[in-house]
Chain A
Amino acid sequence: MIEINNISKSFDGTQILDDISGKFERGITNLIIGASGTGKSVLLKCIVGLITPEEGEVLYDGRSFLKADKEEKAQMRREIGMLFQGGALFDSKNIEENVMFPLDLLTDMKKDEKLDRVNNVLSRVGLENINKKMPAEISGGQKKRVGIARAIVNDINYLFCDEPNSGLDPRTSLLIDELIQEITHELNVTTIMVTHDMNSVMGVGEYIMYLARGKKVWEGNSDNILTSGQEDLEDFIFASKFMKKLRKTL
């Protein structure tokens, strides 16, 4: 479980995150949603420690990143996997080296153990026989899959995904969302996923935190999001004309 308490962050005097608190449970896909520019990515970066918030704390099963010493931090790093928006694969390394990188860095495993592990996770995300390809030679959807493989190659407890399905067609998006949800259940990890895609929200939203103007405005899940009665959120969900029409029929 990840707990965030009273997170605030501003850039150059503009308040981006304003006193955000919440709990993300283990074993379910937790979503952070909201319009573009509301600070979802900033919040996720605060959670993984890429940005230090001005106020508030982040607790990984009770452990605080900011207060951890070097050993504890290294241990926590090993338990974290992150999938970036564009995959963020290292251009100069091939697929196998990319996925193996966290193992090289954070474990003392032997070369063939590592290779086994890499092939395992690659087949888990549905990719085989692309070990020696370079990132530039594979499709966007495949990059996301490799990104997921790299994120879960260590025995992780926490999985973070920043817009895992941006730039993908609806069908591939769905497959990626479902893959993330399956992995979350299978490995029993705490997953936090940032998205503004309503298909993902309805498909895999086991817990949903809705942000608007840097504040947490609503929380719930895909079962009660359509009936929240929250004006802001409804505007967000039923943004298109089509959805507005659909809403009248609900």
Chain B
Amino acid sequence: MKSIGAYFIFLGSMFVRRESFSSYFKLTINECISIGWNSILIVAITSTFMGAVTTVQTAYNLVSPLIQNYVVAQVTREMVVLELAPTITAIVIAGKVGSSIASGLGTMRITEQIDALEVMGVNASSYLVLPKIIAAMIMYPLLVVIAGFLALYGGYIAGTMTGILTETEYVYGIRIDFNPFTIQFALIKSVVFAFLIASISAYQGFFTTGGALEVGKSSTSAVTKSCIAVLLADYILAELLLN
């Protein structure tokens, strides 16, 4: 409970005593590259397989002469867009980006680089953390869009190659009864998840005390805590926006 309070104080502290806009711009671009670009490969791999597996397993569970083949594609679409692309990707990103944010800041803390910034009059939390959070909130939704497309494509390949359904059936299933709000919902979720992952990991890293061992611990707890926060937020958002 105490640490949740400290987390909010930490978030607030980022908005006082900021540097010039241009320096933030440059830092944010750098972070966009390290958070977004460097995650594309892992996101591409996980999402393609995710889509493929979803299609195959849905087909496996829907063996009935009464259910038409295209339904498999439709179910895949709903699962991918609503849940798998934003949430599973968030877990992957928590592991990759969250741990690197926490260990990077933790190392800066224990080697006194953060103190050095503060002595020079820089608001270290804002200078180091704000660009990461903004970059994550910009890049993560883009990653989710890519993940969504690739997952559907993975489903397409798996579905047609194994003969579960034909190409026409898959495309038909993907398009039927499509509700565009699901896309909006996925994007809202991804912005929230990105904020949670970046800010929780930054908080864990920023307040590391001790040595190299503690940096490792901060990084582990950044991943666990952001995963839990993502799943909680996932549930809350589903309750709020889908009911």
User: Which A residues form the contact surface with B (CB < 8 A)?
Assistant: 45, 48-50, 73-74, 77, 80, 82, 84-86, 88-91, 101-102, 105-106
Q: List 8 A-B contacts (CB under 8 A).
A: A50-B115, A74-B121, A77-B120, A86-B111, A88-B111, A91-B107, A91-B113, A105-B121
How many chain B residues touch A (CB < 8 A): the figure is 13
Cβ of A50 and Cβ of B113 under 8 Å apart? no
Using Cβ atoms and an 8 Å threshold, which residues of chain B touch A49? Answer: 119
**8 residue pairs, one from A and one from B, having the closest CB atoms:** A77-B121, A88-B112, A88-B116, A84-B112, A82-B119, A88-B113, A86-B111, A102-B120
Cβ of A89 and Cβ of B113 under 8 Å apart? yes
The answer to the question of B122 belonging to the interface, with a C-beta cut-off of 8 Å to chain A, is yes
Docked pose: A77 CA to B123 CA in angstroms: 12
Using Cβ atoms and an 8 Å threshold, which residues of chain B touch A86? Answer: 111-112
Secondary structure class of chain A's binding surface, majority of residues: mixed
The answer to the question of B118 belonging to the interface, with a C-beta cut-off of 8 Å to chain A, is yes
Docked pose: A50 CA to B122 CA in angstroms: 11
CB distance from A118 to the nearest CB of B (A): 15
Cβ of B112 and Cβ of A48 under 8 Å apart? no
CB distance from A216 to the nearest CB of B (A): 24
A50, A74, A85, A101: the one contacting B118 at CB < 8 Å is: A50
Using Cβ atoms and an 8 Å threshold, which residues of chain A touch B19? Answer: 105
Instruction: Please give me the residue from chain B that is nearest to A162 by CB atom.
Output: B112
CB distance from B101 to the nearest CB of A (A): 13
Instruction: Please give me the residue from chain B that is nearest to A80 by CB atom.
Output: B119
Docked pose: A91 CA to B110 CA in angstroms: 12
CB distance from B155 to the nearest CB of A (A): 40
Cβ of B107 and Cβ of A88 under 8 Å apart? no
Instruction: Please give me the residue from chain B that is nearest to A77 by CB atom.
Output: B121
CB distance from A88 to the nearest CB of B (A): 4
Docked pose: A176 CA to B29 CA in angstroms: 38
CB distance from A46 to the nearest CB of B (A): 13
Docked pose: A49 CA to B108 CA in angstroms: 19
Instruction: Please give me the residue from chain A that is nearest to B115 by CB atom.
Output: A50
Using Cβ atoms and an 8 Å threshold, which residues of chain B touch A91? Answer: 107-108, 111, 113
Which residues 162-188 of B sit at the A interface, judged by CB distance below 8 A? none
Cβ of B115 and Cβ of A88 under 8 Å apart? yes
Which residues 85-119 of B sit at the A interface, judged by CB distance below 8 A? 107-108, 111-113, 115-116, 118-119
Using Cβ atoms and an 8 Å threshold, which residues of chain A touch B116? Answer: 82, 84, 88, 90
